[in-house]
Amino acid sequence: MVQNVSFRYADDQPWIYKDLDFGIDLETRVALVGPNGVGKSTLLKLLEGELTVTEGMIRRHNHLKIGRYHQHLKEWLDLSESAVTHLLKCFPDTGGEEAMKRALGQFGLTGKQQICPMQNLSEGQRCRVVFAWLSWNSPHLLLLDEPTNHLDMETIDALAEAVNGFPGGMVLVSHDFRLISQVNCEVWVCQDSRVEKWEGDVLSYK
Q: Which range binds ligand ATP by CB under 6 A, 31-39, 57-65, 86-94, 107-115?
A: 31-39
> Which CB, 3 or 41, lies closer to ligand ATP?
41
Give whole-number Cα distances, 49 to 57, 67, 83, 181, in Å: 11, 12, 28, 28
> Which CB, 16 or 127, lies closer to ligand ATP?
16
Q: What are the backbone dihedrals phi and psi of residue 97, each rounded to the nearest 5 degrees, phi first? A: -60, -45
Taking the complex as a whole, how short is the minimal distance between the CB of residue 167 and ligand ATP, in angstroms?
Answer: 26
Strand 194-198 to 186-191 pairing: antiparallel
Site membership for ligand ATP, residue 54 (CB under 6 A) = no
Show the binding pattern over residues 124-163: x = contacts ligand ATP (CB under 6 A), - = does not. ----------------------------------------
DSSP 98-150: HHHHHHHHHTT--GGGGTSBGGGS-HHHHHHHHHHHHHHT--SEEEEESTTTT
Site membership for ligand ATP, residue 111 (CB under 6 A) = no
Give residues in contact with ligand ATP (CB under 6 A): 9, 16, 34, 36-42
